[in-house]
Amino acid sequence: MPVAGRKPKAAGQAVNRSKPAHDWTEVPDVPHSGAPKLPARTLLGLPMPAPTKRWWAAISTMPHCALWTPADWSFALDTALIAAQFHSGDIKVGTELRNRERVLGTTVDFRRDLRIRYVPVEDELPAADVTRLSDYRDL
């Protein structure tokens, strides 16, 4: 998922004016549905902590989840198990959790690094019936 290279600079600040090797991936800003269910138990057989359930609800509905393959979902579920360890008090896994969240693109900064951009969805209005003015000229 990560793209090699430096973070993109703001428009007009780039030193190299050539086209970047990797373009932005634009994703409609619509919550994703259809994510796999979070396991009910952790690896130790304990019930899934409530903060992990809230974390999964946020992660699994990110708009760019629509781009994920089954392998990406497997990675996300493994990350959820690490999040469960962290939320249960095992702070040693915090660094691994942060690194995996970067790969998943959980924050605006992480999505910028992955060159993922959410674009607003424009509601299409139904085409209005247009009245021809020539119909009313000889009134």
Give the residue extent of every domain in the chain: 43-120
pTM of the model: 0.73
Best CA proximity match to 79, nearest among 63, 56, 61: 56
Cβ neighbours of 130 (radius 10 Å): 6
Distance linking the first and last C-alpha atoms of the chain: 66
- Give the pLDDT confidence of 54-70 residue by residue, as tens digits: 999 999 999 999 999 99
Question: Residue 35 is which amino acid?
Answer: A
| pLDDT score recorded for residue 1 | 55
Is the pLDDT at 14 greater than 90, yes or no? no
- Mean pLDDT score, 98-127: 88
Is the pLDDT at 136 greater than 90, yes or no? no
Q: Which band of pLDDT confidence, cut at 50, 70 and 90, is reported for residue 26?
A: very high
| pLDDT score recorded for residue 124 | 61
Average pLDDT of every residue of the chain: 87
Pairwise CA distance, residues 116 & 41, whole Å: 32
